[in-house]
Structure 1
Amino acid sequence: MAVNLLIYLALMFCSQVDGQEAILHVSEGSTVREYCLVYNSSWSNISHSLTGAQSYKLVNLTSSPLCERGQLTPDFLLGQAVAVMPGECDFSTKAQVAQELGATALLVTSTDSMVTPSANDSEYRKVNIPLALMRHRDFLDILQVFSDGKEVRLYDPPAALFDASIIVMLLLAVFTVAMGGFWSGAAEKVKQTADPSADVNDEHSESSELSLYSPLKVLLFVGMMCVMLVLMYYFYRWLVYVIIVIFCLASATALYNCLDSLMTAVGFGTLSVSCRGKTLSVRSLLLAAVCITLAVIWGVYRNDDRWIWILQDLLGVAFCLNFLKTITLSNFKICVILLSLLLVYDVFFVFITPFMTSNGVSIMVQVALGPGAGGEKTDGKEVEVPGDFSPSYEKLPVVMRIPQFSSLAQNLCMTQFSILGYGDIIVPGLLVAYCHRFDVWIGNSRRIYFISCAIAYCVGLVVTFAVLLATKMGQPALLYLVPFTLLTSSILASVRKEFRQFWSGTTYHVLDDSRKPLLSDGKSGYADGVREC
C-alpha cells in the first residue's frame, strides 16, 4: 500500500490544468476569518503571501449569476471583489462581465464540490482578474459574522517542501514494528520456558498463533489479496461497509489483547467474582467494555477528519501489534517468498495499474483514498474539493493518518494527511518478528537479528519518505522496505555463519497435515519393533 498517498500525478505527456487551493482572508477590525478557495493558477494571478495581497471590499451579488451586465453601470463594482452564484453561463463569461463592471476579483459560491475553473486558451486571455470558487456555506458565514465594512484578500501560501507529520508517522511506524516484533519474540520465549518440548500441535498454541509455513498457502494468501483489492475497486460502494464492520470487530479484539497483555506484564492483578457457579474477571469485563466503546465511537464518527484520526491510529496500532503477535512465519524462506510477492503486488497496483484505469489513477490509490476523495486530481487534470467539510464518501480504515501541519490552504479546504498503509507496517513487521523469534531460538541475548532488522526497517522508511519528497509522488513503500529488511537479515546471517539455520527456521517444525508425527524413537509410520529393511 502506498505511503503518504497524496496527489497521484497522471502521465507527464497529458495536458494538465494547474489547479490550486488558496485562502480568502476576511477582516473587519480585530475580527479575522479565513476560508477555502479553489482557483486556476494558470488563469488567475494570486499573491503567494498575505502581506503582498491586495485588499478589496466584498460586494454581495449572489442573487444574480452575473451572466450579463443588465442595468448595472460600468463602474458599479470598481475596485471591489464580487461574489456571485454559479450556473446559467460559464466562468469566463461571469469574469468578463465582472471586468466590464470594474471588479478586481470574482468569487463564485458553490453548493456542490468545487472543481478547478477552466476555459480554452482564447478565454484565458480575455480575463485579467482573479477568479476563484468558494463554499456557499462559507459565504453565508461571512455575511453572518461581518458587516458591510469587511475587507477581503486572496492569497496562496506556498506549500512547505517538508512537513513534520512525516516525522510523527516515521516514529509511529517504527514503534509499532519494533513493539510487534518484540511481543512476538517475548511470547516465543515464554512458550519455550513453559514447555521446552514446544509441541506445536498443542491446543493453546493453535488458538493463539497462526503460522504460515507452506509456500502454497503464501501464494493463496497473496492471490486473495489481489482479488480483494480488485473487488474493492469495482464494488467499493458496498464492500467498504463490510471492511468497516470487520475493522471494528478486529480492532476491538486486538486492543483488548494488547491492553490485557500489558496489564499482565506490569503485574496488574485480576479481580474475579463468582456468579451462579461461574467465575468472571472484572478486569476482562472492564477492558472489553472500553475496547468495544472505542470501536463503536470510531464507527459512528469515522468521517469526522478533525479528530477521529487519533482514535483510528490507536486502533490501527493495536490491530498491527496483535497481527504481528498472532501471525508467525516459520522460517526465512517463507519470509522471502511472502515479502517478494507482496513487493511485486505493491509495485504493480501502484505503478502499473494507472495505465489500465480510465482516470489514470492507480487501483491502490483509488481504493486507499476512496473514489470520492476530495482535494485530489480528477481525471489527472483538476483539483476537486468537497462542498461540505465532512466528506460524504466512505474511506477504508486500513491506513495510519497524521494531519499535515504546514498545508494551510489545503487544510482549510479539506484536512490533508500523511498516510501509511497497514501493509507497510505488517509485512516488514512479520520479518522483524521472525528475527526476534530466531534470536530466542538460538539463545542470542543481545537480540542482534531483531535490532538489526528493526533498524533496517527504519532506514528503509526514511528512504521511502526521501523519495516521496523528491518526486512529489506517492510511493509503494514495500519497494524500499522489503530490500532493506531482507538484505540486512541475509547479510547478518551469512556473516555470523548461521544462514542455513536462519533459512530453515526453528527445530520445532510445523508439519503438513498430510505428514504423520514422529514417534519417540525418531522413526515415522511404524509401530514399535516393526521396521522395514
Structure 2
Amino acid sequence: MAAARLAAALLLLLAAQVACEFGVLRVVSQSGGTRGKDYCILYNPQWARLPHDLSKVSLLKLRDLSSTQLCSNLDLPVEDLTNQIALVARGNCTFYEKVRLAQASGARALLIVSKEKLVPPGGNKTQYEEISIPVALLSHRDLRDIYKRFGHAVMVALYAPKEPVMDYNMVIIFLMAVGTVALGGYWAGSRDVKKIMKHKRDDGPEKHEDEAVDVTPVMICVFVVMCCFMLVLLYFFYDRLVYVIIGIFCLASSTGLYSCLAPCVRKLPFCTCRVPDNNLPYFHKRPQARMLLLAFFCVTVTVVWGVFRNEDQWAWVLQDVLGIAFCLYMLKTIRLPTFKACTMLLLVLFFYDVFFVFITPFLTKSGNSIMVEVATGPSNSSTQEKLPMVLKVPRLNTSPLALCDRPFSLLGFGDILVPGLLVAYCHRFDIQVQSSRIYFMACTIAYGLGLLVTFVALVLMQRGQPALLYLVPCTLISSCTVALWRQELGVFWTGSGFAKDVPQSSWTPMEGPVPRRDSDAPISQHPPGEEPAKRPLPTEEAGAADPAANHCSPMASASSLTDGDQVQPSPVVQPGTSA
C-alpha cells in the first residue's frame, strides 16, 4: 500500500511538471514592417497545444482588455472577439472562468497578464475537455515593453518551438569543467612535490611562499555550517548580500588570475628590473616591473567585468575566465591530506547539495528550491543581479528557455572544486607511490562521466540538478576501486605510502621500520680489518640517473607546470609521510 501511494505521488509530480511548458509570443506592429520581437509565455498544453512552427501560425489582432479581469459577462466588450486574441488581467476568478467567456465570445486564444510570478494556468479534466483554445500567461514587464516598442495596435502569434534534446553549450561547459579539474589537480600535485623538494634542499628563494592549507575534519564541519548559513541568508536577503558576494568574487578571482599567469610571466625575458629601495608596504620587497604590470592587468580585467557584468553578449566570457582562474587557485591552495578527509568532505557536501535542491521545495512557501533560487537569482529580486560563482554559457539554439529568464546554462564552482580536491589528492598519491598517474587519470575520467550523467538527468527531468549527487559517487567509487585493485587501500586512506623501488637505487623500502643507514649500523657487523662499503645517498643516486639533478630538483624541472615529463619521486620518502 505504501509503495502504491509513493508511485501515485511520483506520477502526480511528473504530471505536474509536464503540464507546465514555455512558449513564445511573436509581436509585430499593425502599421506594417516585418521586424518583430519574441516574448516568453507560460502555458498549459492540457487546455490546447500550441503549434511548433511559426510559419504555420497566423498573426491575429491582440485585443487589449487588460483593464478588466474577465470574470463575468459584464467584462466582455460590446464587439465580440472573433479571430482575435484576448488580453486580460489576472485575478478574482479561476482560469477556467476567464477562458470560457473568451471562447464563447469567439476569441482564438487567451493571454493573461500577471504582475506576480508566472504559474501554470491549471484546471481539471472536465474543464480541459470543454476548452479548445490555448491559455497562456504573460508577465506585466513584457507587456510594458510591447507597448513601448510597438504601441497598443499589434498583431501577435503564439507558438511553442520544439526543445532540442540538449543544448550545444553543454559541450562547452563540459570541456571547461573537466579541463579545470584535470589542470588544477595536476598543478596542485606537481606544486606540492616541488615544495617538498625545495624544503629538503633548503635553497629555494620562495620556499616559504604560497604554502598550501591542509583541511582538517573540524575545518570541514565549520565550512559546511557556514555554507548552509550563507545560503539561507542569501535566500532571505538576496538583494543586499549579492553585492558582498560580487565583491568577494572580484578580489578572489583577480588573485587567482595573477597566480595562474605569474609562472608564465616570470619566463619572459623583459621588464626584469626591480622597484628601487623603499619603505612602502609590499614594495619594500622590490617586486619586478613585469609582476607589477601583471597585477595591474589582473585588476583591470576584474574591474571591467565588475562594471559590465550584466552585459549578456560578452561579459560571460570574462566571468568564465575569472572563474576558472579562481578554481585553479583554490585547487592549488587547499589540500586534503588523506582520502579519509576527501571522503568526509565529499559525502557531507553530497547531502548538503541534495537537501537544498530536492528537500527545500517542501519547506519554502513558494515551493522552489533554495539552491536553484539563489543560483539563478530570485524572480522577485529588485536588483536583477546574478551570483557570479558559476560558469555560464549562453544557449546556442533559439529555445523558448532563452527568453524565459534562463538564457544561460550554469555550473557552480562547488561542482568543480569539491571533486577537484579529490583529483589533486589522487595526483599527489600517484607521485608518492610511482603509479604512473593511474589514480589521477581514473578520478578525472570518473568526474567526466559523472558530469555526463548530470547532463542526462537535467535533460530527462527538465529541472535543476544537484551535480554532486552524481559526481561524488563516481569519483569516490573509482578511486576506491583503483586502490583495491592495487592493494593500496590502507595507505591511500591514511595518505601515507611507501615509495616503490627505483632501479638505480640499492635501497629498498620495506613494510615496517625504516632500515638504518650504514652509518647507523654497529661496527661489529663488519669483518675485522675490512672497512664498510660506502653507499651513496639516495639523492645522489637520483642525480646519477639524471644529469640535470646536479642543479635542480629531481622531482620537477624548471619547465612549465604543464610539462608532460613524468615526475620521479625521491626514494627517501618514509612511511607516514603525507603526500
Q: Normalising by structure 2, report the TM-score.
A: 0.71
Alignment partner, residue 379 of structure 1? none
Within 5 Å, give how 1:78-97 maps onto structure 2: 78-83=82-87, 95=99
- Residue 210 of structure 1, CA deviation: 0.9
Alignment partner, residue 334 of structure 1? 341
Q: Determine if contact 1:192/1:198 at 8 Å carries over to the other structure.
A: no
- Residue 500 of structure 1, CA deviation: 3.4
Determine whether 1:129 maps to 2:119.
Answer: no
Deviations 1:264-291 (A, max 9, x none): 3x54654335346453433223322232
Determine whether 1:450 maps to 2:470.
Answer: no
* Aligned amino acid, residue 223 of structure 2: F
Q: Determine if contact 1:74/1:100 at 8 Å carries over to the other structure.
A: no
Q: 1:203 to 1:275 in 2, by over 3 A?
A: closer
Alignment partner, residue 253 of structure 1? 255
Query: Matched residues in 2 for 1:392 and 1:113: separation?
Result: 16
Q: 1:410 to 1:192 in 2, by over 3 A?
A: same
Alignment partner, residue 40 of structure 2? 36
Q: 1:163 aligns with which of 161, 164, 167?
A: 167
Alignment partner, residue 212 of structure 2? 209
Deviations 1:338-368 (A, max 9, x none): 2222223223333333333333333333332
Query: Matched residues in 2 for 1:104 and 1:255: separation?
Result: 56
Q: Determine if contact 1:23/1:409 at 8 Å carries over to the other structure.
A: yes
Alignment partner, residue 415 of structure 1? 406
Q: 1:365 aligns with which of 360, 372, 375?
A: 372
* Aligned amino acid, residue 39 of structure 2: Y
Q: Determine if contact 1:46/1:53 at 8 Å carries over to the other structure.
A: no
Within 5 Å, give how 1:336-485 maps onto structure 2: 336-372=343-379, 392-406=383-397, 408-444=399-435, 446-485=436-475
Within 5 Å, give how 1:13-52 maps onto structure 2: 13=12, 16=16, 18-26=19-27, 28=32, 30-52=34-56
Q: 1:270 to 1:448 in 2, by over 3 A?
A: farther
- Residue 406 of structure 1, CA deviation: 3.4
Query: Matched residues in 2 for 1:233 and 1:29: separation?
Result: 44
Identity %: 44
Alignment partner, residue 221 of structure 1? 223
Q: Determine if contact 1:432/1:453 at 8 Å carries over to the other structure.
A: yes
356-365 vs 172-181, which deviates more?
A: 356-365
Q: Determine if contact 2:356/2:370 at 8 Å carries over to the other structure.
A: yes
431-440 vs 60-69, which deviates more?
A: 60-69
Alignment partner, residue 140 of structure 1? 147
Q: 1:57 to 1:363 in 2, by over 3 A?
A: closer
Q: Determine if contact 1:160/1:407 at 8 Å carries over to the other structure.
A: no
427-436 vs 489-498, which deviates more?
A: 489-498
Alignment partner, residue 555 of structure 2? none
SS at structure 1 position matched to 2:275: strand
Deviations 1:202-230 (A, max 9, x none): 99547431112x33333333333333334
Alignment partner, residue 496 of structure 1? 486
Q: Determine if contact 2:275/2:289 at 8 Å carries over to the other structure.
A: no
Deviations 1:226-260 (A, max 9, x none): 33334434444433332222112111111111122
Query: Matched residues in 2 for 1:139 and 1:105: separation?
Result: 18
Is the strand fraction higher in 1 or 2?
Answer: 1
Query: Matched residues in 1 for 2:340 and 2:209: separation?
Result: 22
Alignment partner, residue 183 of structure 2? 179
Query: Matched residues in 1 for 2:66 and 2:234: separation?
Result: 41
Q: Determine if contact 1:111/1:137 at 8 Å carries over to the other structure.
A: no
Query: Matched residues in 2 for 1:285 and 1:38: separation?
Result: 53
Q: Which has the larger radius of gyration?
A: 2
- Residue 156 of structure 1, CA deviation: 0.8
Q: 1:261 to 1:206 in 2, by over 3 A?
A: closer
Q: Determine if contact 1:407/1:416 at 8 Å carries over to the other structure.
A: no
Q: 1:198 to 1:425 in 2, by over 3 A?
A: farther
Greater relative CO (CA pairs within 8 A, separation 6+):
1
307-316 vs 321-330, which deviates more?
A: 307-316
Query: Matched residues in 2 for 1:69 and 1:257: separation?
Result: 70
* Aligned amino acid, residue 418 of structure 2: V
Q: 1:228 to 1:64 in 2, by over 3 A?
A: closer
Q: Determine if contact 1:305/1:415 at 8 Å carries over to the other structure.
A: no
Deviations 1:379-401 (A, max 9, x none): xxxxxxx9xxxx73433322222
Q: Determine if contact 2:59/2:155 at 8 Å carries over to the other structure.
A: yes
Deviations 1:159-203 (A, max 9, x none): 22222222221111101101101111221232244333689xx99
Q: Determine if contact 1:46/1:156 at 8 Å carries over to the other structure.
A: yes
SS at structure 1 position matched to 2:56: coil
- Residue 31 of structure 1, CA deviation: 3.3
Alignment partner, residue 526 of structure 2? none
Query: Matched residues in 2 for 1:85 and 1:362: separation?
Result: 28
SS at structure 2 position matched to 1:425: helix
Query: Matched residues in 2 for 1:456 and 1:51: separation?
Result: 45
Deviations 1:52-111 (A, max 9, x none): 323324456667777766895545x43233556667887666655654554323445567
Q: 1:80 to 1:480 in 2, by over 3 A?
A: closer
* Aligned amino acid, residue 430 of structure 1: L
Deviations 1:307-357 (A, max 9, x none): 433222222111111000000111222222222222232233333333333
Alignment partner, residue 281 of structure 1? 288
* Aligned amino acid, residue 359 of structure 1: S
Query: Matched residues in 2 for 1:348 and 1:414: separation?
Result: 24
Q: Determine if contact 2:338/2:494 at 8 Å carries over to the other structure.
A: yes
* Aligned amino acid, residue 371 of structure 2: M
Deviations 1:405-435 (A, max 9, x none): 3362221232333222211111110111111
Q: 1:198 to 1:506 in 2, by over 3 A?
A: farther
SS at structure 1 position matched to 2:40: strand
Within 5 Å, give how 1:58-137 maps onto structure 2: 58-59=62-63, 73-75=78-80, 77-83=81-87, 95=99, 98-99=102-103, 101-108=105-112, 114-117=118-121, 128-134=132-138, 135-137=142-144
RMSD: 3.8
Query: Matched residues in 2 for 1:86 and 1:226: separation?
Result: 37
* Aligned amino acid, residue 488 of structure 1: S
Query: Matched residues in 1 for 2:471 and 2:212: separation?
Result: 25
Query: Matched residues in 1 for 2:178 and 2:192: separation?
Result: 21
Q: Determine if contact 1:329/1:434 at 8 Å carries over to the other structure.
A: yes
* Aligned amino acid, residue 402 of structure 1: V
* Aligned amino acid, residue 212 of structure 2: E
Query: Matched residues in 1 for 2:456 and 2:75: separation?
Result: 56
Determine whether 1:309 maps to 2:311.
Answer: no
Query: Matched residues in 1 for 2:36 and 2:233: separation?
Result: 47
Q: 1:311 to 1:194 in 2, by over 3 A?
A: same
Query: Matched residues in 1 for 2:187 and 2:358: separation?
Result: 34
